[in-house]
Amino acid sequence: MKLCRLAATIVLALTAMVLAVPEAAAHRWGCWIQPNRTVNTRNTATNFSQANAALNEWDADTILSIPRLNSHTEVSIFDGNYGNTGWGGLASIESASGCNITHGHATLNYYYSYTSNGKRGVFCQEFGHLLGLDHSNDGGCMGGGYFYSINTNYQVVSHNISDINGMYANRLVAPGGADELARAEEPAGSRHTAIWYHNPRSLSELAGLSSAVVVARVVGIYDAPDIVVPAALEGGEHRVPNQRIAFEVERNLAGRIDRGFDLFHTGNDEFVLEDDPAYAIGESYVLFVRPRDDGSYLVVSPEGRYRVTKEGLEAASHQEFAGVLARGGIEFLEIDLRDLASR
């Protein structure tokens, strides 16, 4: 049984490699884009030099112009101690006109211990999202924290440059360069995306970061007080909403949690993280969790979240190994976890 499954997994992985989209393809974050090629930016980060270095790369290497101002702009760059949230950085679209981003926030959570290069990489990626780019496995900052460590891969690379130059080729340097995309209706989809501090790329790494793996059902959803951090924004602070999701444990696959526990979750009905969407009462999940200081738990990363459906498991992460785990189902996952524990 195990050998057959291993063979099937290898075939699936090889098939995914053959069918993978070529790296030259553009990686867009939905339809989002800046209105024109001048992106005024305000950098008030405590880690000013790392943020400024990241902005300098986008400014020097692409057709964009990125002036730094000391007033309200298209993009605000800042940082703060947001605590043990699971994410090390956020890109948030605060206002938009159609697909045009009229104001966005690029944020570093320095609760986590990033290297100087890592901080620069987080700023680079979050600002890149606000230019309209998604994650891409190209060796640059847009793939850091997903495909490799953000601490050593922080630069803007040729793929990012060609994506930006293609996206903005028909946009003017000054306001007024609207195109068909800009005149689109308000788009559906996420306005918020994160870079996660933990970056597991195998079941072994994921399990090693977890204190327990459970099958649990959502029995309650409660708004919690906002995370509030001082910032050079209107009102002098940045607020991030969060919830507590009450779960009832149906089964322990590894480690142990008593019958009920609360899960910390960033966001609410209006603030939804792209790869950590809202929970619903009655849904069941396989969760890889670790404890927080306040007694609640935290999913290790999107790779640690799998919704239980009639068809099987549905992975929150697009990482290849997460898809393989989901296709295997709960029974095979439990066998694999036992194998890991016995080594």
CATH of the domain at 307: 2.40.50
Residues 154 and 260 in one domain: no
pLDDT at residue 188, rounded to an integer: 63
> What average pLDDT values come out for the chain (343 residues) when binned by 10 residues?
40 38 63 94 97 96 95 92 97 94 96 95 97 92 90 88 94 58 59 94 95 97 96 92 97 93 95 93 98 96 96 92 94 91 81
Domain-ending residue, one of 196, 219, 247: 196
pLDDT at residue 146, rounded to an integer: 87
Pairwise CA distance, residues 72 & 204, whole Å: 45
Residues 166 and 275 in one domain: no
Give the chain's radius of gyration (CA, Å): 21
Residues 209 and 162 in one domain: no
pLDDT at residue 174, rounded to an integer: 59
In-domain check, residue 11: no
pLDDT at residue 51, rounded to an integer: 97
Residues 187 and 217 in one domain: no
Residues 33 and 159 in one domain: yes
Pairwise CA distance, residues 233 & 103, whole Å: 12
Question: Looking up tokens 């400014």, which residue turns up?
Answer: 59
- Number of structural domains found in the chain: 2
Question: Looking up tokens 């000054």, which residue turns up?
Answer: 174
Domain-ending residue, one of 149, 174, 196: 196
Residues 160 and 145 in one domain: yes
Q: Domain of 127: which CATH number?
A: 3.40.390.10
Distance of CA 278 to the CA centre of its chain: 14
Residues 50 and 165 in one domain: yes
Domain-ending residue, one of 177, 196, 215: 196
Residues 269 and 229 in one domain: yes
Residues 50 and 142 in one domain: yes
Domain interval for residue 314: 203-342
pTM summary value? 0.88
Q: What is the 3-state secondary structure (H, E, C) of the chain?
A: CHHHHHHHHHHHHHHHHHHCCCCCCCCECCCCECCCCECCEEECCCCHHHHHHHHHHHHHHCCCECCECCCCCCEEEEEECCCCCCEEEEEEEEEEECCEEEEEEEEEECCCCCCHHHHHHHHHHHHHHHCCECCCCCCCHHHECCCECCCCCCCCCHHHHHHHHHHHCCCCCCCCCCCCCCCCCCCCCCCEEEEECCCCCCHHHHHHCCCEEEEEEEEEEEEEEEEEEECCCCCCEEEEEEEEEEEEEEEEEECCCCCEEEEEEECCCCCCECCECCCCCCCEEEEEEEECCCCCEEECCHHHEEEEECCEEEECCCCHHHHHHHHHHHHHHHHHHHHHHHC
Residues 210 and 172 in one domain: no
Pairwise CA distance, residues 239 & 130, whole Å: 19
Residues 105 and 142 in one domain: yes
In-domain check, residue 207: yes
Residues 79 and 224 in one domain: no
